[in-house]
Amino acid sequence: MLAILAPGQGAQTPGFLAPWLADEAVRSQLQTLSEVAGLDLAQAGTEADAETIRQTDIAQPVLVAAGIVAAQALLADGPVPDVVAGHSVGEITAAAVTGVLTPTEAMAFVATRGRGMAEAAAVRPTSMMAVVGGAPEDVLAAIDAAGLTAANNNGPGQIVAAGTVEQLAVLAANPPARARVIQLSVAGAFHTVHMQPAVATLNELAATLSPSDPGTLLLSNADGAAVGSGAAFLARLVSQVGNPVRWDLCLDALRSLGVTGILELPPSGTLTGIAKRNLKGVALFNLNTPDQLDDARTFAAAHAGTAA
């Protein structure tokens, strides 16, 4: 059983999109998506420095664009995945991969999302920190004691705290026992109450879209559940901006489904790294460059339509 996963913000690195631009069809598609986003995606994904590509209104559209072009190249004549999921902004990539949104609708949504979240984050200095290790109950207690939100629960061993920089400083000074606190490369307290202004903006855009039901099993960050209605998934995309990502529950769903192989779309490595720790025995493939496509198709064919 094949799962295709799309990473979230923080996975981006300078120049990660460059190898894909050797393909004329990809360049043409990126140009179309750039016009929708109001952002030169090719430039941002090839020439922008680390600080620039870290910016929310740039990182999010570039990540979704990369996932869309890579997925289309991978799946055009290849096996159909059994299940698709995305982490945070990767859910928009997943919506495009499964047909809930068209690529241009997905780009309009993520561009609006990125701008709205950047504006919300500018109200006061906020950010996120990963808490690695420690007993889950101790980690959650320390996050709560600092006044923070457990914005991403990525499974045993990694919970992401989000809130004001002052609250994060309290957590850093008082880390949970046997845990490390790591500052993340994001510019806001995503998936918390600080993002509510962006939710209102996205609600207005969502009302103008006509989502389709997913053609493949599609998991939600809210609770790990498979969502069969495109309208329901779009509503979840909107609300999820201000609510925690329960990737731990998505992992539970992948395990319960009997997934045997996971392929992560570019820029890959984050979600397969989490899967390596939590889904023992599941084969993993990191797709980052187009010269891997033949191997990626072989990997996908070996797992699609099978069960553990």
Buried b (16+ CB within 10 A) or exposed e, 122-160: eeeebbbbbbbbbebebbbebbeebebbbbbbbbbbbbb
194 counts as catalytic = no
Which pLDDT does position 187 carry in this prediction?
76
- Output the pLDDT for position 125: 92
191 is catalytic: yes
Q: Which of 34, 88, 220, 268 is catalytic?
A: 88
Q: Kindly report the CA angle at 142 between 141 and 145, in degrees rounded to 5?
A: 85
Please identify every stretch of the chain with a pLDDT value under 50, giving residue numbers as ranges: 308
17, 41 contact by CB (below 8 A) = yes
Q: Give CATH superfamily name and number for 2-121+192-303.
A: Malonyl-Coenzyme A Acyl Carrier Protein, domain 2 (3.40.366.10)
Candidate list 87, 191, 194, 303, residue with the active-site label: 191
Give rounded-to-5 percent helix, strand, coil for the chain: 50, 15, 35
CA distances from 294 to 58, 74, 173, 298, 300 (A): 30, 8, 48, 6, 10
Exposed / middle / buried, residue 204 (Cβ in 10 Å: 0-12, 13-18, 19+): exposed
As assigned by CATH, the class of the 126-183 domain is: alpha beta
Map out the domains of the chain as residue ranges: 2-121+192-303, 126-183
Reported as a single tens digit per residue, the pLDDT across 221-276 is 999 999 999 999 999 999 999 999 999 999 999 999 999 999 999 999 999 999 99
> How far is residue 254's CA from residue 83's CA, in Å, rounded to a whole number?
8
Task: Count other Cβ atoms within 10 Å, centred on residue 173.
Answer: 9
Diameter over CA atoms, the chain? 52
